[in-house]
């Protein structure tokens, strides 16, 4: 006579949750490793990852121009960029919130803000500029 031992459903659930947790951890670690690799490449060899350096220069340029041209606490609306619409829409929203501005889609606003592409003078010079218009 053989005795079959039944597995406890709670144990099975715990194992499944642990496996899902490990899978999520692996996905997270992948992003962290990629970001660290880019950071190390930028610090050690500026020419190694030129697109990442150009993107960083573009973000820093937009941040400086936003701080200079838009006062904190302003209500701004974002104008769609012609190139990389989703990227610049998201980044402008993030920069505006970090600067203390309120991003509005409709209604009263103080400024209209957008991104325009410009020709790079050098490989590491900015390729974008901020376009700010005061709304009356």
Residues 61 and 95 reside in one and the same domain: yes
pLDDT average, residue stretch 118-122: 89
Please compute the mean of the pLDDT values over residues 108-135 and round it to a whole number. 89
User: Where is pLDDT greater, at 43 or 122?
Assistant: 122
Q: Are residues 102 and 63 in the same domain?
A: yes
pLDDT tier for residue 46 given thresholds of 50, 70 and 90: low
Same domain, yes or no: 36 and 96: no
pLDDT digits (tens, 9 = 90+) for 21-32: 998 888 888 878
Do 92 and 39 share a domain, yes or no?
Answer: no
Are both 64 and 130 inside the same structural domain?
Answer: yes
2: in domain: no
**pLDDT at res. 89:** 85
Whether residue 120 is found in the same domain as residue 53: yes
End-to-end Cα separation, the chain, in angstroms: 89
Contacts of 117 (CB under 8 A, 6+ apart): 81, 82, 83, 127, 128
Q: Which candidate, 93, 67, 71, places its Cα nearest to that of 80? A: 93
Domain presence at residue 1: no
- Pair 120, 126: CB distance under 8 Å: yes
The CATH number of the domain holding residue 127 is: 3.30.2300
| Order of strands, sheet of 75-78, starting from the edge strand that comes earlier in the sequence | 102-103, 75-78, 111-117, 128-134
Same domain, 126 and 103: yes
In this structure, the answer to whether residues 40 and 73 fall within a common structural domain is: no
Average pLDDT of every residue of the chain:
85
What's residue 21's pLDDT?
92
Residues 60 and 127 both lie in one domain: yes
Are 63 and 119 found together in one domain? yes
Report how many domains make up the chain. 2
The answer to whether residues 128 and 88 belong to one domain is yes
Residue 83, domain member (yes or no): yes
What's residue 62's pLDDT?
92
Which range of residues forms the domain containing residue 24?
7-44
Has residue 119 got a pLDDT over 80? yes
């Amino acid at each position: 006579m053989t005795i079959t031992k039944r597995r406890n459903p709670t144990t099975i659930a715990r194992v499944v949750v642990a496996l899902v947790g490990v899978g999520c951890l692996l996905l997270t670690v992948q992003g962290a490793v990629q970001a660290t690799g880019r950071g190390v490449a930028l610090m050690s060899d500026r020419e190694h990852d030129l697109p990442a350096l150009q993107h960083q220069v573009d973000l820093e340029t937009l941040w400086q121009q936003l701080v200079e041209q838009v006062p904190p606490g302003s209500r701004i609306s974002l104008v769609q960029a012609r190139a990389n619409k989703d990227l610049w829409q998201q980044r402008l929203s993030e920069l505006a919130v970090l600067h203390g501005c309120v991003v509005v889609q409709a209604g009263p606003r103080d400024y209209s803000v957008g991104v325009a592409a410009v020709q790079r003078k050098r490989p590491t010079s900015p390729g974008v500029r901020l376009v700010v218009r005061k709304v009356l």
